[in-house]
Chain A
Amino acid sequence: MDQETLGDADIIARSRDDPERFAALFTRHAPALKRYVVRRLGAEAAEDVVAETFVAAFRQRARYDLTRADARPWLYGIATNLIGRHRRGEIALYRALARTGVDPVTEPFTDGVESRVAASGARAALAGALAKLPGGHRDALLLVTWGELSYEEAARSLGVAVGTIRSRVNRARAKLRRSLRDIDPTTSYEEYGQ
């Protein structure tokens, strides 16, 4: 059977006997995971986190619950633990954006001048709010937004109840909303092209 048609659980099951099969899971999920981690930690730290995530997943593949067809919650859960080791760095990046209007994370991908001009208002406010969130709330919020996981998937990633995710996301949203209240809405919306 072509690997393209196999589900994640099938690939993991096969990789238990034939380890190199595991590489297919990387091909499938590494691009989106990398982008997610870059958005949180910047490109440099992300390389390490993504590599460690897949190496750890490979080492733990014997324990994977094969009834879970989609491996993303598992992979994002491992990544979340590893991102936690970079907590100070992550917060420092949000603060840098909040304070200076320049985002060190996106600078390598954008025209420097353009990002300086654009980065103000809402971005700075959001970054400041993200920096202040409790770690577990930030994880939950970013898994369901940047990570594009459902609440159920985020719950599996973090090993908590769905209700916990819902409550963390709601509380985090409230804090983001409050941070946006104090800024000039014209500025904040213009920068997003609205």
Chain B
Amino acid sequence: MNELELLDRLRAEVPPRQDLRAEEARLHAAIATPHQARRPKRVARLSWGLTLAGATMAAAVLVVPRLDSGPAPDVETGLTGLTAAKVLENAALVAERTDVPAPRPDQWFYLKEQQSLDRMPVFETWWRMDGKRSAARGGDGGEVKVGDEKGRTYPLKTQQEVEAFPADPDALLAHLRGMDERTALSICEPECPAGTEDDVKAFGILQWYMKFGPIIPPDTAATMFRAMARIPNVKIEENVSTADGRTGLGVVLDLGEAGKGYTILDPADYHYLGAKSVRDGEEWAMSVLGAGLVDQPGQTP
């Protein structure tokens, strides 16, 4: 054995698979953060981070009467036996009856998020619908800073993307499986069980688009819930905790030891509370604390 082979074996005990969730969160934060021409030091930049969790499904948010066609989820009585089909059909029925006003290009999409990482506090961001500007508030009560980066992904474009979704849930699922990957949180990637990759992708894409819930047309939102119900291995768990300590209905893509991905919905009106993934006994979560349309950066719905 020569010196290179010996060197190859030095510290070879370090496992090929390392926990990457903190790094992934920081990359997502950077992607979502309006670019500043001159960035402050690293610590300050981190505090500017922004997570990519999701947003609310039931926007401007109406308390909707429950439209019930089966056993309703009820956290107080802790009803069990909920199926993904029933829960997500209820969510779809609520979504169909939710009023989503058409946004103007000069309005701003607001999102307030939190993730379960000590270094990442609560973040608030505003994207102008037409993508001309974006803004963020660093930390609680911090100053709102408007960024100068204009990208081609912006809320109006996202809205157009979802409007182009097929109206049939099965067709939507097929469409999602053929799309490029988009995820709020990784579940088992890149080591998902063989054959589940497209399910994971479709689940992740649906979850990702949910952050734009307040601008998703009602019928499209309903189709998204119904498509999620058709993904194999999707189940319901009750009283699932979010990153900020709330509890909700967990729509779970359960891949056993490979990992579990949660889309967490409010048990009363099914609006999107956040996402969570659990793998190897560790949790990683992102919460949506608020979302909606406003007229100026700095305003909240």
**Chain A interface (Cβ within 8 Å of chain B)?**
1-4, 6, 14, 17-24, 26-28, 30-32, 34-35, 38-39, 43, 46-47, 50-52, 54-55, 58-59, 103, 105-106, 109-110, 115, 122-123, 126-127, 141, 145-146, 173, 176-177, 180, 188-189, 192, 194
Contacts and interface: CB of A to CB of B under 8 A. Distances in A.
B6 interface: yes
Contacts of B31: 19-20, 22-23, 58
Given A2-B178, A31-B20, A122-B6, A189 B15 contact: no
Number of chain B interface residues as a range:
35 or more
Contacts of A24: 180-181
Contact of B24 (A30, A58, A109, A194): A30
B1 A22 contact: no
B23 interface: yes
B38 interface: no
A114 B181 CA distance: 42
A17 B30 contact: no
B288 interface: no
A39 B18 CA distance: 12
Nearest to A11: B180
A111 to B, nearest CB: 10
A54 B180 CA distance: 20
Of the listed residues A55, A145, A146, the one surrounded by the most CB atoms of chain B closer than 10 A to its CB is A55
Main secondary structure of the interface of B (DSSP, over half): loop
11 contacts: A26-B27, A27-B186, A27-B189, A32-B16, A39-B14, A50-B20, A51-B27, A59-B30, A109-B13, A126-B3, A146-B11
A58 B28 CA distance: 10
Contacts of A109: 13-15
B18 A38 contact: yes
A27 B30 CA distance: 16
Interface string B10-53: 11011111101011101110110001000000100000000010
B8 interface: yes
B14 A105 contact: yes
Enumerate the 8 nearest inter-chain pairs by beta-carbon distance, A residue then B residue, closest first.
A51-B26, A51-B23, A176-B3, A17-B152, A34-B18, A55-B30, A39-B11, A106-B13
B27 A23 contact: yes
Interface in B148-201: 151-153, 178, 180-183, 186, 189-190, 197
A72 B11 CA distance: 21
A194 B1 contact: yes
Given A34-B20, A38-B14, A55 B27 contact: yes
A31 B7 contact: no
Nearest to B191: A31
Nearest to B178: A2
B151 A188 contact: no
Given A55-B30, A58-B30, A103-B11, A34 B180 contact: no
Nearest to A17: B152
Nearest to B8: A145
Contacts of B42: 52
B190 A27 contact: yes
A105 B6 CA distance: 17
B5 to A, nearest CB: 8
